[in-house]
Structure 1
Amino acid sequence: MSDVVLPCLNEAAALPWVLSRIPGGYRPIVADNGSTDGSPEIAAAHGATVVHARPTGFGAAAHAGLVAATADIVCFMDADGSFDPAQLDRVTAPVRASAADLVLGRRRPTVRAAWPVHARAGNAVLAWRLRWASGLRLFDLGPMRAARRADLLALDLRDRRFGYPLEMVLRAAEEGWRVREVDVDYAPRAAGSRSKVTGTVRGTMRAVRDMSRLLANAGGARR
């Protein structure tokens, strides 16, 4: 059994499809971050474990889900329908086989509209800076990912905003983890669902700001 952490803020439109696609052997944990559209109730009605995460912030939700998890292997995945949970085995298989310590899903858009130009450009810049800061050969800060719970908790991640996924990779690199990418499909999110990061230029800029701060610190430490 693996746990799947789904950080959530107003994803009522996407949750029924996402949760219906969770494969056998995976337990969904919806980490709600203050939804006002009934997302927690919908998640519970579809069999998910629901935890309420505070303060507001993507990292706060992701970490609350990690703490609530009990399985050896924990996955993270956006709850907006852009990823197909049926592909979770792609990120967990190398961890189960002890071939990698952290696996990131490298997004491969199914259609051009799935990944707006501003978001793709921001991700490319951050990935380039991540390669320089960490020495890891990565090309995407993939939100679908997997690692062992005990190892993740030992990283002692502190960011509770958009920098959380990047801090995870940077700390993993510092600890000498084997980090790799696998391809996963990236589709347009569910109708009625809007990404808090890539959906707007403002959201992308907030994420870039949070992550740039971490990268600047990592770069200073490397020098």
Structure 2
Amino acid sequence: MKSNGRLKIAAMGDLHVKENDGTSYKELFSEISQIADILVLTGDLTDLGKPREAEILAAELRSCSIPVVGVLGNHDYECGHVEEVTAIIKDAGVQLLEGQAVEIDGVGFAGVKGFAGGFGRYMLGSFGEPAIKAMVAESVEETMRLENALRQVRSERAMVVLHYAPVLDTVAGEPQEIYPFLGSSRLAETIDRFPVKAVVHGHAHRGTYSGKTPGGAPVYNVASHVEKPTGRPYALLEL
């Protein structure tokens, strides 16, 4: 932590680590370790949710010498090996937030993956076919898990870590037809019931870097593909 008592957080999502891609994050993780106090990963850590991809990421994370906090994304579920992927990533020292909170140097981190569902008056309602009701139920369940995580935070400074977007602002730039699949306003409604200082998410690769919840909490899309003030794949935030 810096002498001013503020924590410098590097946040990045959508690494999409592949088996035979050849891309290495070692130098990037080493760079982040020199300038930040904590690294936050906002999901889609692997490309297809394969255990081997998780093992590659775990090896790359050895070059990161600061605490790492994160959530999983939809890609991490693709192959049906999410429990094994989760175990490998946790064994690498990542504190995965699955509806829990953790406090590091006076900042509380509360996180869930989140889910789709749409935004504002276009948010999907629980009506009609069982498949639609199941989708809405999943969205509501993730929101409840986020609320439970935020209730665990005792620090005056809290950051919410998501994969899916909680607001429309930060998905702007994506095709409007897919907005409902990029996040849900239900997440923002929950966030605004707590004194959250910042929200980070990924998922929307062609989205916009910053926005706000209706209650005014700053939201940052830190997908590695999104242009950020740092000019790097990660954002730097201070809490």
The TM-score with structure 2 as length reference comes to 0.29
Greater RCO (Cα-Cα under 8 Å, separation 6 or more): 1
Bigger helix fraction: 1
- Higher alpha-carbon Rg: 2
